[in-house]
Amino acid sequence: MHTDLVAALDIGGTKIAGALVDGDGALLVRAQRPTPARDGAEAVMGAVGDVLAELRASSLWARAGAMGIGSAGPVDASAGTVSPVNVPGWRGFPLVDRVTEATGGLPVVLIGDGVAMTAAEHWLGAARGYDNALCLVVSTGVGGGLVLGGKLHPGPTGNAGHIGHICVDLDGDLCPCGARGCVERIASGPNIARRALDGGWLPGPDGDSTAASVAASARAGDLVAIASYERAAQALAAGIAATATLAEIDIAVIGGGVAGAGEVLFAPLRRFLRDYATLSFVQQLRVAPAVMGTDAGLVGAAAAAWTSGVWGTGAGAGAGAKGVPAGALR
């Protein structure tokens, strides 16, 4: 059987999604289950198994030559384990071994969800055509990933580019990670909302006190709401500028729910970047919103499988496997 597809898994705290993906990034078969995040390790693995069983039931399954997994982190790709913060039952869970077993021996590549989003944006999204990119996911947390020299740079454990936990405020607030003044502690959705509430911002009549509601108030001219987004933008700009200066990135792509604030976030972000990205080689740095949406995790996991070197190495991938299709990543 000619293997010209990859299988992909996107594992998060609320859902586990799977797909069979072709060399153009099209999701040909999809399956999804809610994550039983409060249950034990085997219950969560059971949901993964259900998704995989649904994919395996497809007549296209035999064409899959590798499996890519993007998971909520931390992940440890070198050990093949995951310990997602929002899935307490999985601590050092041997996901790669278990998925390898459940797929009948497909070669598996594991990356963090921020790295997966980065792979998707580089393959088919806002970072396409850029050889050096930083992609950020700004939502309940702040994650990210790097493309360097035209290639995804997951790092040894699959977590490289995790911009949410670099310090941008030396004596700032304590972060749950143990450090102080992390980008995430200032720029995540919950922290944007908390800072607005602390400053006296009042939610609308519907009681919605999320960052999206703060963004709506900012668009309507509420000064406290605007200030909370400006502080988040400042933290992001400092982190992006530091990354650009270290690694000479050409573009920063920003996705996640908080990016939905649009110009409320992006206008001050561009302004603060001019303050922080000052050296000649980072002044041309571009900032763009992510475009891949909710399928980014699956598309990115597939991209990692295409390009990691595991593709076409599995037991079922012998005859006919000819390497990455022309349409897949460079």
Residue with tokens 């990119």: 133
- C-alpha dist (Å) from residue 217 to 191, 199, 200, 211, 212: 16, 13, 12, 10, 9
Candidates 98, 122, 165, 231; binder of Zn ion (CB under 5 A) is: 165
Shortest distance, position 112 Cβ to Zn ion, whole Å: 15
* Residue 146: CB atoms within 10 Å: 24
Shortest distance, position 173 Cβ to Zn ion, whole Å: 10
Contact 123, 103 (CB under 8 A): no
Q: Is 174 in the site for Zn ion (CB under 5 A)?
A: no
Shortest distance, position 177 Cβ to Zn ion, whole Å: 3
Q: Is 168 in the site for Zn ion (CB under 5 A)?
A: no
Q: What type of residue is 284? A: Q
Contact 272, 238 (CB under 8 A): yes
Shortest distance, position 52 Cβ to Zn ion, whole Å: 33
Q: Which stretch binds Zn ion (CB under 5 A): 73-81, 148-156, 168-176, 196-204?
A: 168-176
Q: Is 177 in the site for Zn ion (CB under 5 A)?
A: yes
Q: Is 179 in the site for Zn ion (CB under 5 A)?
A: yes
Taking alpha carbons only, the member of 115, 191, 73, 164 closest to residue 123 is 115
Q: Is 183 in the site for Zn ion (CB under 5 A)?
A: no
Alpha-carbon distance of 225 to 192, in angstroms, equals 8
Residue with tokens 């360097």: 148
Cβ proximity to Zn ion, 70 vs 239, nearer residue: 239
Q: Which stretch binds Zn ion (CB under 5 A): 31-39, 174-182, 209-217, 234-242?
A: 174-182
b/e 153-182 (16+ beta carbons within 10 angstroms → b): bbbebbbbbbbbbbbbbeeeeebeeeeebb
* Residue 244: CB atoms within 10 Å: 24
Alpha-carbon distance of 154 to 135, in angstroms, equals 12
Cβ proximity to Zn ion, 25 vs 141, nearer residue: 141
Cβ proximity to Zn ion, 95 vs 163, nearer residue: 163
Candidates 77, 138, 175, 328; binder of Zn ion (CB under 5 A) is: 175
> Considering CB under 5 A, how many residues would be counted as binding Zn ion?
5
Q: Is 163 in the site for Zn ion (CB under 5 A)?
A: no
Beta-strand runs (E) in the chain: 5-11, 15-21, 27-34, 64-71, 75-76, 81-82, 108-112, 133-138, 142-148, 151-152, 251-255, 286-289
Q: Which stretch binds Zn ion (CB under 5 A): 118-126, 163-171, 192-200, 298-306?
A: 163-171
Q: Is 162 in the site for Zn ion (CB under 5 A)?
A: no
Q: Widest CA span of the chain, in angstroms?
A: 66
Shortest distance, position 229 Cβ to Zn ion, whole Å: 20
Q: Which stretch binds Zn ion (CB under 5 A): 112-120, 158-166, 200-208, 310-318?
A: 158-166
Shortest distance, position 179 Cβ to Zn ion, whole Å: 5
Residues that bind Zn ion (CB under 5 A): 165, 175, 177, 179, 182
